[in-house]
Structure 1
Amino acid sequence: MQRSEVIEQVKHYIAEVILDGDDTDLNEATPLLEWGVINSLELVGLLNFIRRQFHVDIPSEKVTAEHLANLATIAELIMDQASEVR
């Protein structure tokens, strides 16, 4: 699993499901929580998407602002959790 692929898949999910298809200004450093792109309701959907798409469960202690700040940190979280499963 490549970091860039993970970022693109999460970006596509956020653009399509949360932003109604608009990925304008959405890049790996966009502050998702700070800008209100992800709230508690969207977070549940995002975690379900990660579970289905990447076969990774994110433990509750990892569901923090630090890990969900932007696409880059989300991708790192996914990749870290995937490597722990192996």
Structure 2
Amino acid sequence: MDQAVAAEEIERYIRTEFLDGDPSAELAADSPLLEWGVLNSMNITRLVAFLGERFDAEVGPGDLVPSNFRDVDSVARLVARLAPEGAEAD
């Protein structure tokens, strides 16, 4: 899985689902999602479900740590590590 492609998809999902699709909302690859309150326990659950559906990335209990959800880049690195070899975004 290409990390840059994953980051684009994840950013789009977060913007659409958690920021009401606002294109002007401040969101960069290194925006502190946890610190800003964009990701809370419910939104992380939704994001994990999205990662499984979109990238076939199986996020286990041991992966549910703040460092994996700090920002879009962290989530993309998680996907790159967990997605099956050869998986590509559609």
TM (norm. structure 1) is: 0.91
In structure 1, give the amino acid aligned to 2:30.
Answer: A
CA-CA distance at 1:49 after TM superposition:
0.3
1:38 aligns with 2:24: no
Q: Which residues of structure 2 form unaligned runs of 5+?
A: 86-90
Measured against aligned partners, the alpha-carbon deviations of 1:54-86 in whole angstroms (never above 9, x if no partner) come to: 01111111111111100001000110112xx44
Aligned to 1:64: 65
Is the 8 Å Cα contact of residues 48 and 59 (structure 2) preserved in structure 1?
yes
In structure 2, give the amino acid aligned to 1:45.
Answer: R
Aligned to 1:76: 77
In the TM superposition, structure 1's runs of 4+ consecutive aligned residues that sit over 3 Å from their partners are: none
Count of matched residue positions in the alignment of Structure 1 and Structure 2: 84
Higher relative contact order (CA 8 A, sep 6+): 2
TM (norm. structure 2) is: 0.87
Q: Which residues of structure 1 form unaligned runs of 5+?
A: none
CA-CA distance at 1:28 after TM superposition:
0.6
**CA-atom RMSD, angstroms?**
1.1
Measured against aligned partners, the alpha-carbon deviations of 1:24-75 in whole angstroms (never above 9, x if no partner) come to: 2101100000110000111111000000000111111111111110000100
